[in-house]
């Protein structure tokens, strides 16, 4: 404006003269003078983003200097560039700026095709969790806790009672680690203490050829016994083992047969029957099994097949 004095309003002009009061402009003023003000980073209205960062893709959207609405779920920040034909304005003058915003959004939630496992962590497909939350091999059942449980008739095993054919021990030999050289000779009782274990010899007849045998321990309640008895205390933990040869009346702790196969630990209690092992009957042979303490068990019982049967037997089927 020619002759324009101080205090006369004039339109906003880049590099405007001294004393001129700038009129309001459409765009925001540029603080601090130099540089082009970036437009707000939220994405343009109408371009929704997917959960956690939106769907994949790139959009080029012209953005005016006026603020635009926020986008739910906020995508990746845009990069602003000055519009062609506009330069920075030194001196603090107001300027209208148009920018181009490039919005690139990526899918969230981890690699495509790998589903998240329970609790949010990605896990390999097809590997089920084992009980208790830990991953375990497929098809491997969990073992029951707390030691072996009483077993009834199941699968190919023979009955855990004397309702069918069975073999009873023909020789019972206690051995004592506190008197290692002493041969106690034959006994009618099975005994298990912290120093005493018992070996049971079975003679398997030829007539059992081709049949299945199961080693079972029968432990009825005292009140169910007619001609037998037992004393029992402690935690009930015992172990059974197949020996590599048979015992004799001269067997002591020192010269007892070695263990051929350990058959496992059991926690026994009155009123139960236990399936110890199932195997092909060794027809025409004698076999020996040892029963020993694995905790604080004190047990002394009279082996008897009369009702209710008590002791270690081999059932045949």
97, part of any domain: no
Residues in the chain with pLDDT < 70? Answer: 1-155
Domain that holds residue 306: 165-316
119, part of any domain: no
pLDDT digits (tens, 9 = 90+) for 161-211: 999 999 999 999 999 999 999 999 999 999 999 999 999 999 999 999 999
31, part of any domain: no
Cα 303 from chain centre: 43
Q: pTM for the complete prediction? A: 0.54
Report the alpha-carbon angle 162-165-167, nearest 5: 80
64, part of any domain: no
pLDDT of residue 55: 39
pLDDT of residue 94: 52
111, part of any domain: no
pLDDT of residue 109: 42
pLDDT of residue 140: 33
Cβ atoms 78, 120 nearer than 8 A: no
pLDDT of residue 101: 54
Residue 249, domain CATH: 2.60.120
pLDDT of residue 156: 78
Number of H helices, E strands in the chain: 0, 15
Could you tell me if residue 113 is left (phi over 0), alpha (psi between -120 and 50 degrees) or otherwise beta?
A: left
| CA–CA distance, 217 with 214 (Å, rounded to integer) | 10
237, part of any domain: yes
pLDDT of residue 164: 94
State whether residue 108 is helix, strand or coil: coil
223, part of any domain: yes
Domains in the chain: how many in total? 1
266, part of any domain: yes
pLDDT of residue 36: 37
Tokens of 137: 């091999």
């Amino acid at each position: 404006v020619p002759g324009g004095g101080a205090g006369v309003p004039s339109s906003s002009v880049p590099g405007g003269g001294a004393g001129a009061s700038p009129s309001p402009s459409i765009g925001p003023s540029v603080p601090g003078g130099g540089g082009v003000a970036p437009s707000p980073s939220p994405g343009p209205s109408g371009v929704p983003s997917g959960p956690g960062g939106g769907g994949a893709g790139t959009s080029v959207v012209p953005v005016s200097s006026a603020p635009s609405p926020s986008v739910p779920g906020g995508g990746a920040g845009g990069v602003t560039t000055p519009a062609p034909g506009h330069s920075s304005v030194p001196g603090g003058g107001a300027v209208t700026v148009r920018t181009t915003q490039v919005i690139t959004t990526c899918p969230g939630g981890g690699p495509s095709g790998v589903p998240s496992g329970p609790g949010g962590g990605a896990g390999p497909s097809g590997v089920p969790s084992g009980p208790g939350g830990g991953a375990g091999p497929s098809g491997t059942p969990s073992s029951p806790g707390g030691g072996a449980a009483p077993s009834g008739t199941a699968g190919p095993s023979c009955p855990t009672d004397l309702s069918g054919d069975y073999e009873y021990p023909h020789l019972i030999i206690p051995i004592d680690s506190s008197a290692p050289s002493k041969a106690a000779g034959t006994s009618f009782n099975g005994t298990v203490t912290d120093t005493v274990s018992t070996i049971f010899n079975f003679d398997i007849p030829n007539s059992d050829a081709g049949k299945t045998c199961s080693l079972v321990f029968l432990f009825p309640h005292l009140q169910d016994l007619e001609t037998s008895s037992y004393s029992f205390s402690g935690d009930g933990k015992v172990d059974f083992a197949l020996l590599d040869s048979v015992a004799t009346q001269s067997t002591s702790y020192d010269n007892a047969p070695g263990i051929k196969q350990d058959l496992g630990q059991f926690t026994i209690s009155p009123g139960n029957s236990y399936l110890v092992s199932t195997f092909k009957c060794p027809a025409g042979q004698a076999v020996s099994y040892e029963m020993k303490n694995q905790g604080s068990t004190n047990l002394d019982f009279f082996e008897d097949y009369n009702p209710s049967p008590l002791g270690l037997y081999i059932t045949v089927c």
